[in-house]
Amino acid sequence: MSKLRRQQTANTTNVVETKNLVDIKAKTGNLYESIAVIAKRANQINISIKEELHNKLEEFASHTDSLEEIHENKEQIEISKAYERMPNPAILATVEFMDDKVYYRRNEDNLFD
């Protein structure tokens, strides 16, 4: 089972819940910096989900038409539906950020000093 599948089953809902902006700001001291960290993590999650999905669907790629293709298409549809039911990457990233599971660092170089 992939890491992303485990995250899906780890009580992460598909429903967007409101978050207290003060709590998000408290993590980095700056609300916009916190949102930028969450957005970058969501992008990382989205890329890995897409790669995983494409790798699974490549197994079914065939260039010939046959009766078996109908059965394979059903399997492809089931895989696609499973990925559609997964939580949005932004939701996963927000949960990870709020649970302190995201490592981030600031670039301390002051370029204009």
pLDDT of residue 1: 45
Mean pLDDT of 36-57: 92
Looking at the 3D structure of the chain, how many domains does it have?
1
Q: Is residue 79 part of a domain?
A: yes
Q: Quickly state the pLDDT bin for 57 (edges 50, 70, 90).
A: confident
8: in domain: no
Is 109 inside any structural domain? no
Q: What is the mean pLDDT of residues 5-25?
A: 76
In this predicted structure, the answer to whether residue 56 has a pLDDT above a threshold of 80 is yes
This prediction's pTM: 0.74
Looking up tokens 């950020």 gives 97
Cα 46 to Cα 39: distance, rounded to the nearest angstrom: 10
Does residue 46 belong to any structural domain of this protein? yes
- pLDDT confidence of residue 95: 92
Taking residue 42's Cβ as centre, other Cβ atoms within 10 Å add up to 19
- Has residue 14 got a pLDDT over 50? yes
Is 93 within a domain? yes
Q: How far is CA 45 from CA 4, 53, 77, 88, in A?
A: 8, 12, 22, 9
